[in-house]
C-alpha cells in the first residue's frame, strides 16, 4: 500500500469534525497531522504525516510516508515491561519542540505529555483493544524523526515514535518547522487521526 492520499480540505474537515483545532491564521502556521492506516498487521511505512498550512492565504499540503506505530521488532520484544508504546489518536498541543533525536540529529522531540496504548501481547499486530491494552500518559521520548534514506520496512526504526520513511521528506519537514518556529515559536501541536476519520 502506498502513502495515504490526503488533501488540505479533507484534513481540515476531519480535524474540525473531531473537535480538534486547525491552524489557519498567517503563513507557515503548521498543522502536523498523522493518519494511521487501517492495516494493523503491517511492518511497512503505510501511514501518512501531513503538513498543512497557508502561504499568502493559499493552502499547501505535503503528505509524507511514515509509520505512526512501532515496528514489528518492538511489538514482539517490548523495551518497556508494560508494553510497546502506540500513540493514541487525538490532538497533543505543543507536543514537540526542535531538538535532537537521541542526541544525534535535528528532529522534533517530545516536550509535553502524550497518551499511548501499551501493547504487551508479544505479537506483530497493533493492539489498541480496550480489553487487552491499557493507556499510559507521560513523557516517553515519542519523537518525530527519520528512518534511512528511503526505508521500506519499519523493523527497529520505531518503538513508538512517528517516523518518516524518506530522508528527503524529513529534511523538508524540518525546514518547514524551522521556518514556522521563526514566526510562531518552536512548539508544535501534533494530531493523530485514523484513516476512518477522513
Concatenated DSSP letters of 174-198: HHHHHHHHHHH-SEEEEEEEEGGG-
**Distance of alpha carbon 48 from alpha carbon 65, whole angstroms:** 5
Which pLDDT belongs to residue 94? 98
Contacts (Cβ under 8 Å, ≥6 apart) of 153: 43, 44, 71
Q: Please name which of 71, 20, 58 lies closest in space to residue 190, comparing C-alpha atoms.
A: 20
Concatenated DSSP letters of 121-149: S-SSS----TTT-EEEEE-----EEE-SS
Return per-residue pLDDT of the chain as tens, 198 residues.
356 778 999 999 999 999 999 999 999 999 999 999 998 767 889 999 999 999 999 999 999 999 999 887 766 777 777 778 899 999 999 999 999 999 999 999 999 999 999 876 666 666 666 656 689 999 999 999 999 888 888 888 888 899 999 999 999 999 999 999 999 999 999 999 999 999
Angle CA(33)–CA(151)–CA(40) in degrees, nearest 5?
55
E strands within the chain? 31-36, 47-55, 58-67, 84-87, 90-101, 105-110, 114-119, 134-138, 144-146, 162-164, 187-194
Every domain of the chain and the residues it spans: 8-197
**Distance of alpha carbon 9 from alpha carbon 95, whole angstroms:** 24
Which pLDDT belongs to residue 20? 98
Amino acid at each position: 500500500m502506498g502513502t495515504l492520499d490526503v488533501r488540505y480540505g479533507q484534513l481540515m474537515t476531519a480535524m474540525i469534525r473531531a473537535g480538534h483545532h486547525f491552524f489557519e491564521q498567517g503563513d507557515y502556521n503548521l498543522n502536523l497531522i498523522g493518519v494511521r492506516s487501517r492495516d494493523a498487521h503491517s511492518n511497512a511505512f503505510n501511514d501518512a504525516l501531513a503538513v498543512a498550512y497557508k502561504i499568502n492565504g493559499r493552502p499547501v499540503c505535503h503528505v509524507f510516508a511514515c509509520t505512526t506505530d512501532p515496528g514489528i521488532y518492538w511489538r514482539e520484544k517490548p523495551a518497556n515491561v508494560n508494553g510497546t508504546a502506540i500513540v493514541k489518536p487525538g490532538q497533543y498541543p505543543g507536543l514537540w519542540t526542535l531538538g535532537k533525536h537521541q542526541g544525534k540529529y535535528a528532529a522534533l522531540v517530545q516536550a509535553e505529555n502524550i497518551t499511548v496504548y501499551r501493547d504487551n501481547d508479544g505479537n506483530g499486530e497493533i493492539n489498541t483493544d480496550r480489553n487487552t491494552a491499557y493507556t499510559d500518559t507521560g513523557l516517553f521520548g515519542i519523537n518525530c524523526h527519520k528512518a534511512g534514506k528511503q526505508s521500506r520496512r519499519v523493523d527497529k526504526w520505531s518503538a513508538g515514535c512517528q517516523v518518516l520513511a524518506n530522508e528527503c521528506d524529513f529534511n523538508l519537514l524540518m525546514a518547514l518547522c524551522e521556518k514556522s518556529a521563526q514566526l510562531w515559536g518552536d512548539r508544535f501541536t501534533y494530531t493523530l487521526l485514523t484513516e476512518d476519520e477522513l
